Chain A
Amino acid sequence: MTALAAAVQRAETWLTAEKHSLYGISVTRMILGFVVWSQLAANWPDRHYTWGDGARWTSPVQAAKGWPGVFGLFGHASGRAFDVAYVAAILAGFALMLGVFSRVSAVVTLLLWMSLYVTNPFVGSGGDAVLRMVLLYLCFTDSGRIWSVDARRALGRQARKPVVPPWMSATLHNLALVLIIHQVVMVYVGSAFWKLQGPLWKDGTAVYFPLQTEAFSPWGDLLQPLITSAPFVVGGTYTALVVQLFFPVLLLYRPSRFLALIMITGMHLGIGLLMGILYFSLVMIAVDMILVSDRSWQHGLAGTRWVASYGRKKVLAWRVQLKKVGNS
């Protein structure tokens, strides 16, 4: 067998034999579901101005964007009908988070979220763009296999006859994972290439500027000493640039992958909290979680259980000790 044939064989086995990253994709599903429902709930008081009747003034621009008609639900809903659809979107996101009929929830969440998103062309962000693409790919994955209501229900039930052959389902799942991981890598690398063209990124001061604007410094007046300090500004700027640029390389080795994920998660949390764009950060963190291998999630889970069990034993021993002291 030639080397090429062996490589094709290995690729086919990887694609068809089993579904990969089941833990990671479950965490992604949970966080994305949370992002959808909690964000909509948080924006409930201003929903009509943001996406509803009060956003119709954007319709000349919206019509020119060319979104498919399948996303037209909220564009045609007004008043109470809009509110009912809005609540349905919240419930769909909640069901996705819990993993209730995960695949159906993913499809419904995608349709409702996108229908809402397209109604106002001036509300979207980079996080929304990632969310819509990953939600689409998520529909092809088995994201409810683990840590979901679906998984819990499947425990006490006989295995159902699959609708499509297992190899086909595995192929779609694994290819969707590839698409998601590639997309997140391109977000970081593409963004880093753009940053390299900017003088403020190269001289290490870029982080300072958005944090001085009214729109992206909700805590600017309170955190001025921190966000104007040179170590914070220069460290933040170069860390963002280097981690994003070398993200795909850092993924290749297990230790550097962990380092990259810790740094990029820290960066997202920093951006989210300091700039008031937490949902953008949560979407990126959700997608990054796919990059943690199933083995690492299992080790992490086992470690957490051990710590919890050790803690329980310690508390019990402490209580016994306390009782003895009390009796004596």
Chain B
Amino acid sequence: MLTGMRWLSGRIAFLTTVTALVVLHLVAVTFAAIPPNRFSDSVAPSTGYLEPYFAQNWRLFAPNPVAQDRTVRFQIAYRDDAGDVQNSDWIDWTAVELDLVRHRIVGGRAGYITNKMIGSLSSRYNGLNGEQRSIANIPTDENPLSWEQLESQLADAGVTPNRLNSFLLYERSIVRLGSDIAAGRYPDSEVVAVRYGIALQGVTPYAERGGTEAERQAARPNRTERLSGWRTPLAGSEAEREAVASFDTRHR
């Protein structure tokens, strides 16, 4: 009798606990999934546990669908045999990645890497004011700022530690990719500096969609591009450089 009652209370405790946990999780997911409002804002401190595993970001082509071609390009400053610094042609890395997407029913997962990075890079750059941007964009290819100099100058210009840290995380990443690419394309040269450009161009407006290919291209909004300042290279390990070079060789 006693054992039976214990079993029953254990069953009730289990059912109550797991059901309550699930219901709380359902409520948290519901608030996190819908666009921010005063109700979701009020429970936000309790839904923090959802990040990163249960992150609810379902802005699938919403509120505004992707309507631009976005491109990341790199330029390399390298020392030639005479010891002079030369600038390479621009390397359109997004085009290299898009080789995995064009005319494929199933696009390769690496086809969108820099495309996905552009939003984060741009939002961090846009968080800087005019003076801070001018430091980030210093155009010297022969003697670029060291990463420590860049960090301290931005801090002196008033960038808050969180914003600075976040900006430098993405800058370091994109520059390291550019440095890896440079190592593959200029294996026998000393790479002095790397910079990147982010180009955006809107697609043909809906109203102009019926024209010929040439007319549709002519109707597209002008291309805009932001160029970063020259950065000190940050090449990765030998295995990293080889993997990037191998990808480059297959898809450029």
Contact of A209 among B25, B65, B172 (CB under 8 A): B65
Tell me whether B110 and A46 are in contact (CB under 8 A): yes
Tell me whether A194 and B173 are in contact (CB under 8 A): no
Which residues of the other chain, B, contact A60 by a CB distance below 8 angstroms? 168-170, 172-173, 176
Tell me whether B15 and A16 are in contact (CB under 8 A): yes
B interface bracket (residues with beta carbon within 8 Å of A): 35 or more
Which residues of the other chain, B, contact A187 by a CB distance below 8 angstroms? 33, 58
Binds B, one of A119-127, A288-296, A311-319: A119-127
Tell me whether A191 and B103 are in contact (CB under 8 A): no
Cα–Cα distance between A313 and B214 once the two chains are bound (Å): 58
Name the interface residues of B34-80: CB closer than 8 Å to any CB of A.
34-35, 51-70
Per-residue interface assignment for chain A, residues 157 to 200, with 1 indicating a CB less than 8 Å from any chain B CB and 0 otherwise: 00000000001100110010011001100110111011111111
Tell me whether A178 and B22 are in contact (CB under 8 A): yes
Q: Which residue of B lies closest to A46 (CB)?
A: B110
- Give the A-B pair count, Cβ closer than 8 A: 218
Tell me whether B116 and A53 are in contact (CB under 8 A): no
Cα–Cα distance between A52 and B109 once the two chains are bound (Å): 13
Which residues of the other chain, A, contact B14 by a CB distance below 8 angstroms? 168, 171
Which residues of the other chain, A, contact B115 by a CB distance below 8 angstroms? 215
Per-residue interface assignment for chain B, residues 119 to 156, with 1 indicating a CB less than 8 Å from any chain A CB and 0 otherwise: 01000000000000000000000000000000000000
Which residues of the other chain, B, contact A197 by a CB distance below 8 angstroms? 35, 62-63
Is the C-beta of B244 less than 8 angstroms from some C-beta in chain A? yes
Is the C-beta of B187 less than 8 angstroms from some C-beta in chain A? no
For A, the interface residue count at a CB cutoff of 8 angstroms equals 79
Which residues of the other chain, B, contact A207 by a CB distance below 8 angstroms? 65
Identify which of A50, A79, A178, A207 gathers the most chain B CB atoms within 10 Å of its CB: A50
Tell me whether A50 and B206 are in contact (CB under 8 A): no
Residues in A lying within 8 Å of B, measured CB to CB: 12, 15-16, 39, 42-43, 45-46, 48-50, 52-61, 64-68, 78-79, 120, 122-123, 126, 129, 132-133, 136, 167-168, 171-172, 175, 178-179, 182-183, 186-187, 189-191, 193-201, 205-210, 212-216, 218-219, 228, 233, 273, 276-279
| A-B contacts besides A194-B63, A206-B64, A218-B104, 18 pairs, CB < 8 Å | A12-B15, A48-B247, A54-B240, A54-B247, A57-B236, A61-B169, A61-B170, A66-B51, A67-B52, A120-B113, A123-B109, A129-B57, A182-B29, A191-B59, A209-B65, A213-B67, A228-B209, A228-B210
Residues in B lying within 8 Å of A, measured CB to CB: 11, 14-15, 18-19, 22, 25-26, 29-30, 33-35, 51-70, 98, 100-117, 120, 166, 168-170, 172-173, 176-177, 180, 203-204, 206, 209-210, 236-237, 239-240, 242-244, 246-247, 250
A–B complex contacts, Cβ < 8 Å, 26 sampled: A46-B109, A46-B247, A53-B240, A55-B243, A56-B237, A60-B170, A68-B53, A133-B53, A133-B54, A167-B11, A186-B33, A190-B34, A194-B60, A194-B63, A195-B63, A196-B63, A198-B63, A206-B61, A208-B206, A209-B203, A210-B67, A212-B204, A213-B66, A215-B115, A216-B66, A218-B104
